[in-house]
Amino acid sequence: GGLGHRKKKPKNGEERFEVPPVFERLGINMTNAIVRNAKAKIIERRFRDIKDHLSRLFETYTGGNVVEKPEKLKGVLKNGEIPLDATFIDTVETLLDWYFNQQPYGGEVAADHGKPRQQVYNENLHTKRVAGAEDLNLMLMRSVRVQKVTQRGVHLDIAGQRLDYWNDDFIFNYMGKKVYFRYDPDDLSAVRVYDLEDRFIMTVPVDNTAVLTYGASKEDVKAAMGKVRRLERITKEALEASTVQAFGKRTALELVLEQAHENKMARIIPEPQPKVLELQRPQEEPLLKAVGGPDLDVMNRNAMKRNGGISDE
Residue 249 has pLDDT above 50, yes or no: no
Give the dihedral sign, CA 50/91/141/206: positive
The pLDDT assigned to 290 comes to 47
Q: Lowest-pLDDT range, 74-78, 102-106, 273-277?
A: 273-277
Q: What residue ranges do the domains of the chain occupy?
A: 13-82, 84-124+252-285, 136-212, 215-245
Q: Within 10 A of 288 (CB to CB), how many other CB atoms are there? A: 8
pLDDT band for 34, please (50, 70, 90 cuts).
Answer: confident
Residue 126 has pLDDT above 50, yes or no: yes
Q: Which helix (H) or strand (E) holds 161?
A: strand 161-165
What CATH code is assigned to 136-212?
2.30.30
CA angle at 92 for the pair 257 and 25, rounded to the nearest 5°: 150
Give the list of residues 6+ apart from residue 147 with CB closer than 8 angstroms, or none: 154, 155, 178, 179, 180, 181
Top-confidence residue, 197 or 233 = 197
Alpha carbons 149 and 202: distance in angstroms, whole number: 13
Q: Which helix (H) or strand (E) holds 44?
A: helix 44-49
Burial of 32 (0-12, 13-18, 19+ CB in 10 A): exposed
Residue 199 has pLDDT above 60, yes or no: yes
Exposure letters 39-76 (e unless 16+ CB within 10 A, then b): eeeeeeeeeeeeeeebeebbbebeeeeeeeeeeeeeee
Q: Lowest-pLDDT range, 81-85, 124-128, 150-154, 283-287?
A: 283-287
- State the average pLDDT for the chain: 77
Instruction: Answer for the pair 206, 164: CB distance below 8 angstroms, yes or no.
Output: yes
CA 44 from centre of chain: 23
pLDDT band for 16, please (50, 70, 90 cuts).
Answer: confident
Instruction: Answer for the pair 201, 165: CB distance below 8 angstroms, yes or no.
Output: no
In eight-state DSSP terms, residue 50 is I
The pLDDT assigned to 60 comes to 92
In eight-state DSSP terms, residue 298 is H
Q: What pTM was estimated for this model as a whole?
A: 0.51
Instruction: Answer for the pair 149, 170: CB distance below 8 angstroms, yes or no.
Output: yes
